[in-house]
Chains A and B, each alone.
Chain A
Amino acid sequence: MNGGWNIFPIVAAVVVMLSAVAAAIALIRKERSVVAMTLSALSIVAMGGFIALLWMTLERPPLRTMGETRLWYSFFLLIAGLFTYARWRYRWIMLFSTLLATVFMVINILRPEIHDQTLMPALQSVWFVPHVAVYMFSYALLGCATLLAIASLLRPNIGADEGIERLLYGGLAFLSIGMLTGALWAKDAWGAYWSWDAKEAWAAATWSLYLVAIHMARSVMNVKSQRAYYIVIIVAFIALQMCWYGVNYLPSAADSIHAYNQ
């Protein structure tokens, strides 16, 4: 196994422990806890340090394989959880973001698609890092928005709407920038900004569903449409999972020009 990845289970254990303790403290304390935020920040630094180490040992940005994108997703999810807690004091958000990040880290330990050090010619582009990193950050923000939407659907009076809306705005902004930098890269690589390849088609579907959500957020809503709003956010997040990795399991992915990230 590659040098950098050898220590990942240890790093993951440290990150999960720090985040879990931070989440538990945040859940217990009614006021915003500085200790919880510090522990959470330490877990993010540990994760960030591992990504930097991996970048150096691989001698390329660790953004190519599904395993590597999961790593970034866990990293950004922890940041988004801490940000949401620090900004809006949702006591339980760090617990959910830690759980979700842990799931992705465990998958990385059990399925390490990480042995290949080379970066194929198609991925050697100035667009590579911004395209993938921005996408992963948007996925994390939208993941937190989804957690808040699920909680609001179950307990309508938790008052998470402002948080959901802000996370949606940030998430959609980065999702769009990720998609648009992808279009500019596609023009350089394949000669077309958009070719309705399976991955692009699902990206369009995801983007459109988040546009539905953001337009709904700006509307005057009754109880029924409020529930529909939360459901749209959840459906959009399912479409996002399809776009990210679900599409790889569809027959339409067989001829996909995005096949290198499977």
Chain B
Amino acid sequence: MKTADITTIFIALAVTLLQIAIGAFPVAMFAFPLNTLAMLLWVVAMLHIYRYRTTSAIAKFMLSREATWLSLLIMAATGVVLGLQRNPMSDAWAVVIGLLFVQSHLMFVVLRGWRVNNRIRWRFAILHIGLLLALGAGFWGAPDREQLRIAVESHPSREAYTIEGVERRLPYDIALKEFKTEMSENNTPTNYTARIVVEGESVVLRVNHPYNRTWSEKIYLINGGVAHNGSDYAIVEVVREPWQWLSAVGIVMLIVGDVLLFLCGPKGRR
């Protein structure tokens, strides 16, 4: 049995034991600045190992075709397993370690392949760096992401709740001015509109049209209607995601790379 196989089995066992012993990966514990520090340490470690790519067994494995197959199979298996779960355990240890491995391999591949014979391989670089950014922003930024729901009525309120039902106070008030439902001829809703007041400013919310409160925070309209007492209400969601712009850059790079993939097709001999 190869060293790589033994290491893979060992990691799989360790991950299973961790899951059994302490449950899901403690994502919230790694909120800023711990996640940023951990990411920087990881980048430095990868760069350091990469320097010894001709001598180190780890570096050689991370640059091997086997590591590519393993990365892609981890991603496919993650998709299948989470796709079968009603409440997908995306914070399971296996998912976290698996995605960390995928990113590590991607980083090695980018370092080696972005330039060949002093020539930049644009399509390769755009696709792989884009994927690394999109994956990395979602992975390292997850602990800083906050999603709070708040039921808004005519009186100003700031009591919001996390998805788990834990109460959080917003640093500002939100009040509802008006909630409107447009109906079609066959009595199905075609549009929801909520006019709310955020920090004294009047804002119109619609589905697919969130309000950008700050560079890292958006407010979404989730639902609404008429309460038992006859007054309008709206359910809005406040989403804080400081890493969202990094994800967006990665996604746009991937789209550009995919357009190039279609236009240029396969290159070189098989």
Contacts and interface: CB of A to CB of B under 8 A. Distances in A.
Interface stretch (A7-15, A38-46, A67-75, A115-123): A115-123
Interface in B233-250: 237, 239, 241, 244, 247-248
A253 B210 CA distance: 26
Contacts of B72: 208-209, 211-212, 215
B103 interface: no
B84 A252 contact: yes
Interface stretch (B24-32, B38-46, B185-193): B185-193
Nearest to A127: B208
Given A191-B239, A203-B79, A252-B86, A218 B190 contact: no
A196 B73 contact: no
B254 A201 contact: no
Contacts of B157: none
Contact of A202 (B75, B83, B261): B83
A172 to B, nearest CB: 7
A212 B73 contact: yes
A220 interface: yes
A204 B79 contact: yes
Interface stretch (B7-15, B51-59, B114-122, B262-270): B262-270
B189 A217 contact: no
A247 interface: yes
B218 A251 contact: no
B258 A217 contact: no
A185 B251 CA distance: 12
Interface residues of A, number: 61
Given A124-B191, A191-B239, A215-B68, A173 B83 contact: no
A242 B83 contact: yes
B86 A255 contact: yes
B112 interface: no
A206 interface: yes
A198 interface: yes
Contacts of B218: 191
B80 interface: yes
Interface string A179-199: 011011101111111101111
B210 A217 contact: no
Interface in A200-254: 201-209, 211-212, 215, 217-221, 239, 242, 247, 250-252, 254
Interface string B192-228: 1000000000000011111000000010100000000
Contacts of A173: 258-259, 261-262
Taking each of A161, A173, A197, A219, which has the highest tally of chain B beta carbons within 10 Å of its own beta carbon? Answer: A173
B100 to A, nearest CB: 16
Contacts of A208: 72-73, 75-76, 79
B87 A118 contact: no
A169 B266 contact: yes
B270 A122 contact: no
Taking each of B68, B77, B88, which has the highest tally of chain A beta carbons within 10 Å of its own beta carbon? Answer: B88
Contact of A118 (B190, B244, B258): B190
Contact of A172 (B134, B210, B261): B261
Contacts of A165: 266, 270
Taking each of A116, A196, A221, which has the highest tally of chain B beta carbons within 10 Å of its own beta carbon? Answer: A196
22 contacts: A117-B184, A118-B186, A121-B190, A161-B270, A170-B265, A177-B258, A180-B254, A180-B258, A191-B241, A193-B247, A194-B138, A196-B82, A201-B83, A204-B76, A204-B82, A206-B79, A211-B75, A212-B73, A218-B270, A221-B270, A250-B84, A251-B86
Given A180-B255, A197-B88, A198-B84, 5 more contacts: A124-B207, A189-B207, A192-B241, A217-B270, A218-B270
